[in-house]
């Protein structure tokens, strides 16, 4: 796929340059894309690539008038391979920017490459908080078009207070992304009077929650879950089998459209928060879902949307420059000021190169959407919190003076 695409566009570029060489020669924009296209995260990687590719296909493979050479490289989900491949893209393919990276660890590994090689890195998925918070100054060529892990959690914590929940137990994957999603929720929830009374950390990739579910405190009003990948499928099943009656809420990846089609009725009624839902009832999203589903046979996930939107943002910046790449510094500067109407809703950038966008609080329901004949599970939006930045309801300076969310921060002061 990689080479064929690259070859085809090179061929196209060649024809343009040679055949009709009398007119203005179209500029070439070389974009490297890093995603895990093999290994356990291969399907997520496919969603990422497909999202970006869909935008290119809809725009004749041009962004802002420049012909795009889109080169996909496989990270195998390993940070050091991601670094090697990023260097390949920069040194051998001479890309002007590289996009992608799935895991937070990959994001942390790739950002220094952008600094060392003075090449733009656009993180469309990797959500590690500190990249645009306490470590931002280290990475002048880094822009985030996706989200920070704790961004949806801040308004969600407030929402949990509004529901009248007083005591919540959290159960989440034991790694940095889990700490950040749950940490953000805890900070917001305790700020408005709630209490986190227990935090359970099953290891990433846990397949049997038998040892964890019985330890959930009976005093809790609700359970907050943060699952990723196959964990998302297994946990709700076992929770239901254990006879749980408590409301279940969770981080976006526990119920995103990547896992939702494989889920059963056990997740109906569960509430989560993210910057995108495929069930968003806007004309833009309806068109996006239909186009994506027709082309790739599945409902787009936030992985798809985020990369589609990233392509749209690059398109806008390139249009401002009449299709000529303005150099890395200038490009970052312009991209960091972009404001667009994306599929996920209005998106603008804050002063720390991270998007400000709507956070959707959504409930899993089984219904028909967008004229599709079957009843399916969708993340129905029940509340829109507009214009949420990475610091949410908190003061930027106060926020930056506290440590990054971890297993020990915020401390569990109400733990029983």
Host H or E run for residue 358: strand 355-367
Neighbours of 147 (CB within 10 A): 28
Query: Smallest distance, Å, CB 239 to other proteins?
Result: 24
Query: Smallest distance, Å, CB 119 to other proteins?
Result: 13
Q: What are phi and psi of 329, to 5 degrees?
A: -60, -50
Q: Which is nearer to other proteins, 72 or 278 (CB)?
A: 72
Q: Judged by CB under 8 A, which of 18, 22, 92, 245 binds other proteins?
A: 92
Distance CA 19, CA 34 (A): 33
Taking a C-beta distance cutoff of 8 angstroms, is the pair 206, 172 a contact? no
Q: Which stretch binds other proteins (CB under 8 A): 75-83, 224-232, 278-286, 387-395?
A: 75-83
87: contact with other proteins by CB under 8 A: yes
* Distant-in-sequence, close-in-space partners of 292: CB < 8 Å, separation ≥ 6: 50, 51, 54, 298, 299, 300, 304
Spell out, one character per residue from 270 to 309, where the chain touches other proteins: x when CB under 8 A holds, - when not. Answer: ----------------------------------------
Q: Which stretch binds other proteins (CB under 8 A): 74-82, 160-168, 319-327, 368-376?
A: 74-82
Q: Which is nearer to other proteins, 3 or 242 (CB)?
A: 3
Distance CA 392, CA 291 (A): 33
Q: Judged by CB under 8 A, which of 76, 248, 317, 328 binds other proteins?
A: 76
Residues binding other proteins: number (CB under 8 A): 34
Q: Judged by CB under 8 A, which of 15, 17, 38, 284 binds other proteins?
A: 38
Token code pair at residue 79: 């940070």
Taking a C-beta distance cutoff of 8 angstroms, is the pair 360, 277 a contact? yes
Q: What are phi and psi of 363, to 5 degrees?
A: -120, 135
Q: Which residues of this protein are in contact with other proteins, per CB under 8 A?
A: 1-3, 37-38, 73-74, 76, 78-81, 83-85, 87-88, 91-92, 103-105, 108-109, 112-113, 128, 174-177, 204, 406-407
């Amino acid at each position: 796929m990689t080479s064929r695409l690259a070859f085809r566009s090179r061929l196209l570029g060649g024809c343009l340059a040679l055949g009709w060489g009398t007119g203005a020669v179209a500029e070439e924009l070389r974009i490297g894309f890093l995603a895990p296209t093999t290994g356990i995260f291969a399907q997520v990687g496919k969603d990422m690539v497909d999202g970006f590719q869909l935008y290119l296909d809809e725009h004749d493979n041009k962004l802002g008038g420049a012909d795009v050479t889109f080169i996909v490289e496989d990270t195998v989900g390993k940070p050091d391979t991601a670094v090697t491949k990023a260097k390949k893209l920069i040194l051998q393919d001479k890309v002007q920017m590289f996009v992608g990276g799935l895991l937070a660890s990959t994001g942390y590994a790739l950002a220094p490459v952008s600094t060392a090689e003075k090449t733009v890195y656009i993180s469309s998925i990797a959500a590690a908080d500190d990249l645009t918070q306490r470590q931002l100054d280290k990475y002048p060529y880094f822009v985030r078009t996706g989200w920070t892990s704790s961004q949806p959690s801040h308004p969600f914590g407030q929402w949990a207070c509004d529901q009248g929940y007083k005591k919540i137990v959290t159960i989440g994957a034991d790694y940095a992304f889990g700490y950040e999603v749950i940490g953000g929720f805890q900070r917001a929830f305790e700020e408005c009077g709630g209490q986190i009374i227990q935090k359970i950390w099953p290891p990433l990739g846990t397949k049997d929650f038998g040892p964890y579910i019985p330890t959930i405190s009976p005093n809790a009003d609700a359970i907050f879950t943060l699952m990723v990948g196959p964990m998302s499928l297994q946990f709700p099943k076992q929770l239901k089998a254990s006879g749980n009656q408590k409301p279940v809420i969770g981080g976006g990846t526990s119920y995103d459209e990547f896992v939702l089609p494989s889920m059963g009725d056990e997740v109906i009624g569960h509430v989560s928060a993210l910057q995108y839902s495929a069930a968003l009832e806007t004309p833009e999203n309806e068109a996006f879902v239909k186009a994506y589903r027709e082309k790739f046979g599945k409902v787009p996930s936030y992985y798809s949307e985020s990369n589609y939107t990233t392509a749209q943002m690059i398109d806008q910046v390139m249009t401002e420059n009449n299709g000529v790449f303005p150099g890395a510094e200038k490009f970052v500067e312009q991209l960091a000021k972009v404001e667009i109407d994306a599929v996920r809703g209005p998106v603008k950038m804050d002063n720390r190169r991270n998007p400000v966008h709507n956070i959707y609080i959504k409930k899993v329901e089984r219904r028909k959407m967008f004229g599709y004949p079957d009843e399916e599970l969708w993340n129905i939006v029940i509340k829109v919190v507009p214009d949420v930045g990475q610091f949410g309801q908190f003061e930027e300076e106060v926020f930056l003076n506290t440590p990054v969310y971890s297993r020990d921060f915020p401390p569990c002061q109400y733990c029983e």
